[in-house]
Chain A
Amino acid sequence: MPKLRAMSLWEYANPRKFMATSAALLPWVIALSAICLGTGLIWGFFFTPDERLQGASVKIFYIHVPTAMMAINAWAMMLVTSLIWLIRRHHVSALAAKAAAPVGLVFTAIALITGALWGQPTWGTWWEWDPRLTSFLILFLFYLGYIALWEAVENPDSAADLTSVLCLVGSVFAIVSRYALLFWNQGLHQGWSISATDGEAPVADVYWYPAMISIAGFVLLFVALVLFRTRTEIRARRLKALITRERMA
């Protein structure tokens, strides 16, 4: 009987293993993401009724909520991979964090823009210095700072060290963004839109199902983009090493 070998997560710290596995996974993740995004957004935009109080502006829900969730989750993923880098010094994990940052930045920007566009007709204002909105803006600035720091430091290992520490600090704002309402219990922004907090469903089924599919689509899009961009970062790192060797020869 063949001996079963336990798969270890650490095998993916090997760039060759990561490249082989991600190459096989990427087409499936991209296809699933396109199917979920297409289904969720078309269903939500064209085939859901207007909400009693918010009217047709409820259609922003299918973009705003998933991107806001992913803006925080992207930073959480960067936190985990940054910790792996700091503790175990696996280059792939540092490069995955680097690859995820622009994706998180774009999700945060979309959440802020759609939030302002939704807030204007709903609250009568584009922006309010509300705890959740403010912490989200700070998270956006942390993403910018994180990306700038990677670009500013020449040595890739030093850049990974410094950005990992910045990621740990920024995690405070990622947590605050998610739990701002629990911490302060004030501000314009409503509570959690998807998960029930008091045993009662926060949204009706007619909105909930397309929202879930849309969220799945944005999660898969994030995974696809991070896999794709990490592959590029691994190649870029090898290219840099080859050019350095050429110069030294």
Chain B
Amino acid sequence: MPELGRYAFAVLTSYGAALALLSGLIVYSVLRAKRVLRQLREAEARRGPTQ
């Protein structure tokens, strides 16, 4: 771990905030993608085979 001195709070909070926000966006995007795909498959199954 590098010596951050008096900048430790600013540097670590910056990396932490970026990681938290990006992780939140990725998790939300993946969960929504899974939900939409599941609902689409159900709707297509209800519709039956296309002509």
Contact = CB atoms under 8 A, between A and B. Distances in A.
B11 to A, nearest CB: 5
B49 interface: no
Contact of A63 (B4, B15, B25): B15
Interface of B: 2-11, 13-15, 17-18, 21-22, 24-26, 29, 32-33, 36-37, 39-40, 43-44, 46-47
B14 A229 contact: no
A60 B10 contact: yes
B27 to A, nearest CB: 12
Contacts of B25: 102-103, 106, 225
A64 B11 CA distance: 11
Contact of A235 (B3, B4, B21, B40): B40
Nearest to A228: B29
Nearest to B46: A246
Given A225-B25, A229-B29, A242 B2 contact: no
Interface of A: 41, 45-46, 55-57, 59-60, 63-64, 67, 102-103, 106, 109-110, 113-114, 117-118, 120-121, 221, 225, 228-229, 231-232, 235-236, 238-239, 242-243, 245-246
Given A56-B2, A117-B10, A110 B18 contact: yes
Given A106-B21, A235-B36, A60 B43 contact: no
B36 to A, nearest CB: 5
A193 B44 CA distance: 51
Contacts of A60: 10-11, 14
Nearest to B44: A242
A239 B36 CA distance: 8
